[in-house]
Amino acid sequence: MSTLQSYGWNEHFLHHFNSSLYQDAEPARVLSIQGFKHLLITEAGPLEAQLSGALIHSRSPEEYPKVGDWVLVKRYDEAGIIIETLPRINELSRKAPGSESSRQVLAANIDAAFIVQGLDRDYNLMRLQRYMQQLALCNIQPIVLLNKADLVADPEVFRQEVVALGYDCPVILTSAMDETLQEEWVSRYLMPECTYIMLGSSGVGKSTLLNSLLGYKRQEEGATSTANNKGRHTTTTRHLFLLSNGSMIIDAPGMREFGITAEDGGEGILHPLIEELAPLCRFGDCTHQHEPGCAIVSAVQNGSLPELVYRSYVKLLREQYHFQTNEMDKRRIERQHGKITRQASKHRKDWKY
Ligand SMILES: Nc1nc2c(ncn2[C@@H]2O[C@H](COP(=O)(O)OP(=O)(O)OP(=O)(O)O)[C@@H](O)[C@H]2O)c(=O)[nH]1
Ligand SMILES: [Mg+2]
Ligand SMILES: [Zn+2]
């Protein structure tokens, strides 16, 4: 197998490469980004590269290469210049922290994401559902990984709680300290040539798990004494690693905020039971909050839809609405701005100034 194939190069990217304008460039995958420095893997091995000026000026920041992206690169002596990002299969995004309605792309071309929570103090079902929602919007398969199972007396209770939420995804108990526990899910869920990402708060054990899978300590791990200190973030950049079984994992810094976004005109709160019940509501535009004849509210009342799923649904729906209205306001302002500029240039012509 070629180097690129082992990093996930496939027909989709080959097709876009063949139809691109840059036949003199070579394809590469982005392994990590530090400031201007992009570490790429090419057929001939690793290469450091920067973005071309043309790429920076002609694209918006979400379109700049992210970890996991396939790019076209040209070599100049020892250095590489990235001239294009190949179309993505998907992108993992969130609401940009601190913003009202901007989207931030964290990584690209992801087959599945591990939502990692620590069973010590990090375990939180509302937060878990926030990740579920955003991954569904991004079209990325979630896998719940409940780590630090060694620290609680009966970890299965936690697992059952997550299973009871009714999402369509694997829920796994593990511990970075227990190789047997790891072997069970690794052989089942980590597939060769597939790309995974570790998501979760700081200190849940993402890097420790990754090191254990790599079989050597590559990523810095938070010291036990400071693991309970909320402000500490041990991993600071995303990095894609190739495991010996042929799968790839992106280790990411812990996230304080994982704000959800919304698709254009998309409704998309994606819980299987909610999707199944919504068409049964009396009103087609039911918001599932106070309307009579709402199938979702009655499912909560009769216990077939967990209340926690409903609560998170209402909360996330409001956030999505907020994100969307802001987006619309922005567009309205931009349109208005365009109109003013057009009027101004008309005046300029009329008055010749
Ligand atoms: N008991 C126990 N401790 C663990 C386990 N996994 C990780 N830890 C400890 O938790 C602490 C934090 O682990 P990290 O791997 O640095 O956490 P992280 O998720 O990578 O954190 P950030 O890089 O800050 O996002 C370390 O002290 C680990 O030794 C586990 O399964 N059991
Ligand atoms: Mg880490
Ligand atoms: Zn309803």
Residue recorded with tokens 């819980």: 271
Residue 165's SS3 state is: coil
Q: What secondary structure letter does DSSP report for 35?
A: T
Residue nearest to atom 7 of ligand 1 (CA): 205
Q: What is the pLDDT of residues 317-348, one digit of tens each?
A: 888 888 877 776 766 766 666 665 555 555 55
Query: CB neighbours of 216 closer than 8 A, spacing ≥ 6?
Result: none
Q: What is the pLDDT of residue 340?
A: 58
Residues paired with 116 in a beta bridge = 145
Q: What is the pLDDT of residues 274-284, one digit of tens each?
A: 989 999 999 98
Q: 181 CB less than 6 Å from ligand 1? A: no
Structure tokens at 37: 């420095």
**Closest ligand 1 atom to 232 CA:** 24
Packed helices 206-214 and 179-189: angle between N→C axes, nearest 10 degrees: 80
Q: 261 CB less than 6 Å from ligand 1? A: no
**Closest ligand 1 atom to 254 CA:** 25
Please tell me the chain's helix, strand, coil percentages from 3-state DSSP, rounded to the nearest 5.
35, 20, 40
Q: 254 CB less than 6 Å from ligand 1? A: yes
**Closest ligand 1 atom to 211 CA:** 15
Tell me the HSE value of 346 on the side-chain side, using a 13 A CA sphere: 6
**Closest ligand 1 atom to 116 CA:** 19
Q: 234 CB less than 6 Å from ligand 1? A: yes
Task: Answer yes or no: are the C-beta atoms of 260 and 319 closer than 8 Å.
Answer: yes
Residue 38's SS3 state is: strand
Mean pLDDT is lowest, of 49-63, 84-98, 249-263, for: 249-263
Q: What is the pTM of this model?
A: 0.88
Residue recorded with tokens 């791990």: 221
Q: 155 CB less than 6 Å from ligand 1? A: no
Residue 55's SS3 state is: helix
Strands 45-51 and 79-85: parallel
Q: 157 CB less than 6 Å from ligand 1? A: no
Residue 315's SS3 state is: helix
Q: Is 65 exposed, middle or buried (0-12, 13-18, 19+ CB in 10 A)?
A: buried
Q: What is the pLDDT of residue 229?
A: 46
Residue nearest to atom 27 of ligand 1 (CA): 224
Residues bordering ligand 2, an ion, CB closer than 5 Å:
206-207, 234-235
Residue 285's SS3 state is: coil
Query: CB neighbours of 294 closer than 8 A, spacing ≥ 6?
Result: 281, 282, 286, 288
